[in-house]
Amino acid sequence: MPALPRTYTRDVLSVMSMCGMYDAAGQWAYEVGIPAKSSVSGAILAAIPDAIGVGVYSPGLDRHSSSVRGVAVCRELSDRFGLHVFADPSESRLGRIVRPGRREESTEMYPFGDGWLPDGIGEAP
């Protein structure tokens, strides 16, 4: 069951993409590419419709009032699994890969290896 009716999804994701990370929204869209909303509590919520939702929490904040570790985890997830919503679908490693010669996207999932996140991910600088 969706958390939000589809009629609102476009609007909410647009606002999250444009200003959900406050003053760092442009840099976030360019580098991470996942619609997200941060909070001064240290929480970050990110979403890719029909794919995943991510919630992270760590209270140490950066100069933009976003969680230092939360930003690092989201950046790593985006890089590692090709989640940037503006990237070529062939860069994804979560089964959204368009295979050569096919127009439709695969829904097949691929293994992530032994560990989900490497040591050191999300540690404060």
Q: Are 47 and 13 in contact (CB under 8 A)?
A: yes
Whole-number mean pLDDT of the chain? 78
- Give residue for tokens 């600088």: 125
Distance, CA of 81 to CA of 84 (rounded, Å): 9
- Which tens digit of pLDDT belongs to each residue from 103-113? 444 444 433 44
Q: Say which CATH class 6-91 falls into.
A: alpha beta
- Which tens digit of pLDDT belongs to each residue from 31-66? 999 999 999 999 999 998 778 899 999 999 999 999
Residue spans of the domains in the chain: they are 6-91
Between 107 and 95, the more confident residue is 95
pTM of the model: 0.70
